[in-house]
Structure 1
Amino acid sequence: MYQGFEPREIYDRYEKINELLHRAAVTAEPLELPLVRLKLVRIGFLGIFPNQTYSWHEHPYYELTTVREGRASYFSEELSFSCDAGNRFFTATPPMTPHQLKFGPERVVLFAVNFEMEPRNPVGEQLIRLTPELLRERNSRLVPRERLWTLYSLLNSPEQTECGQVELTALYTRLFFGELLFELLPELFADRLPGRRHPHFDFEHDRINAIKAFIDHDINVRDCLPIEREFGMSERHLNRLFKAATGWSIGQYRIQRKLHVAKTLLRGSRNSIHEISQSLRFGSISQFSAFFRRYCGCSPREYRIGTAVGGEARENLPEE
C-alpha cells in the first residue's frame, strides 16, 4: 500500500497515519440516518509510483478519492477527466462501476474513503438506487466547502502522527466522514426522497418503464386511481399494455417489487421484522408473515437467518 512513498521518512509518516486511520475505521460505528445506514469500510492515503496505471476494475462499495500530491486521470465508461492537488474536489465512484486511473510522471498520493450503504426502510432502498444517478448528475466530481478541508488537514497533521492518539483520530475520522457525506450527498441525510417526479409517461417510446417507475415510487399504494390519473387511461387498458410487454400484470409487478424490498431489508438491514412489516404498511407481523410465506415459501424469520431460501416471486404470483 505504501510502495510509492519515498524517501523513507515520508513512507514512515504515511504508514503511521494509515495505521491510525485503519484502526479508526475498524472501530467506527455506522452513521444511522433516517433512511440509510452508512458504514465506513476503509480510509487512508495511497502512494503511487510515477507513470503507473490502475487498469479497469470495480469494487462492491462507494469510493471517494482526492489527489493530495501529483496528478491523476480518471476514466469510466461515461466520462474522463484529470485532477491534481490544486483542484480540491472528490471523485465519486458507485459500487460495481468499472473505472481506470492513470498517473503522471511525478509521485502521486491519493486519499481514499470507501463506504457501504444499507437501507433502513423501503424509501431507503429507493434512495440507494437513486444515489448513482445523483452522482452522474454531478459528473462524479464533488466539491466540498472549506470546513471539510479543515477536517481533512487534521487527519494527517504531524502532531497527530507523533502522538499516535487513536481516540483523537477516531473522533476526527467520524467527524470527517459525516461532514464529507453531508457536503457531497446531502440527500442521504433527509427523511424523504429528493423532490423529483417519476419519469414522464411517453406513450410511444417509454410507457412500460414509466409505469414501473411510478410503481417503484411508492410500492405500498394499492389504489388504482393514482396510476389511472397519472397516465390518463383505465387500469384495464394499462394492465393490457403492461402484461403484453412484461408478462406480468401491474398488480403482480407491484407484489414482486414489494417482495424484493422485503428480502433486501431482511438480509441487508438490522431492522426488526416488526419494523419491516410496518414500513411496508402491513397491519401486523402475522399479515406480513402470511404474505411472505405465500410467495416465498418460508417465513420472514427463516429467510433472514438462512434456514430457508425464498423462491422467485414470479413463480408464485397469483393469476389476475
Structure 2
Amino acid sequence: MYRSIIETLPKLHFISHFTYSAQPGMHYPLHHHSDQTELLFIVDGQAKYVIDGKSYGAEKHHFVLFQQGLWHEEWSLPSEGIEFFCLSFSDLQLSGLPPNYLLDPEKPAVFHMPSHTSEALAMIREMYEEMSSGAPESSLIAEQQLAILIARLCRHLYYAPHAAAKEQSNRNHAVKLAQRFIAEHYNKPLSLAEIARSVWTSPSYLSHFFKEATGMSPIQYTIRLRMDAAKHLLQTTDDAVEHIAERVGYSSATSFHNLFKREICQSPGEYRKSAAPPAT
C-alpha cells in the first residue's frame, strides 16, 4: 500500500480549449503566473516552449506544465496549426514540493503517458464539457475530475512501472467483471452507463480499456452475446421471432430483425431456414 504524495487537492480555476491555424499561429510572450499553475494537453499539432530558461518541443498528446511562478514563452510552428486544452489550478500540494508544483522544477516540463493517452484526452474533454455546461454542480464535478487526472499523473510520474502493472491487472479484472455482468443481464435493457456502474468506473474509461482487451466496445460485446443467443434459439426452438427478440433483450421485434440482419447478414427467418437440418 502506497502512501499518497498528494497532501491537498487542486482547485480548478478554468479549463479552455484553443485552436490556432498555421497562420498567424500562436505566440504568448514571456510571462508567468504568480498564484496558479497551468497544465496544457496538446490534442494535435506542435509547438515550442521556453520554461524557466529551458527550451522544449512538444507535439500531439504531450502534456506541458507551466508551474506557479516560472517564466515561460510559447509559440506554434509556422508550418502547422495547434489544438490544445489549458487547465489552470491552485491549492495543489505534493509532498516535498513548493505549492502548486506537480514536478520538481529540475524535471522536464514536457511529458506524456503513452499507454494512457486516450484516457487522459477523454477525461479532459469530459472536464471541459462539464465546466462549459453550466449545469448544477458542474464546477464541483469538474474539480473532482481534475483531482482524478492529477492523481493519475502522479501515479505515472512517481510510481511507474509497478503502478502501471497493477493498473493493467485492475483493468483486466474490470473487463472480466463487465463481461460477466453482460452475460448475466444481456436479456434485459442494458446501457453503457449501467455496465460501467457495475464495475465502479466511468463509461469512457470502460469503453477504452474494454475495447483494448477485447477488440470491441461493451455495447458491441452485448450485441454479440445477444446474437449468439438468438441464433441458438432460432436453431433449437420454434419460438416466433418476436418472442426470441424479447428473450434476448429487445422490446422491438423490428429493431431486433434489422440488427440481426446487419450482424449476421441474414434475416432471422433466413438464418433459421439455413441452419435447419436437411429433411430426411
Is the pair's TM-score, using the shorter chain for normalization, greater than 0.5? no
Compute the TM-score of the two structures, normalised by the length of structure 1: 0.31
Q: Bigger radius of gyration, 1 or 2? A: 2
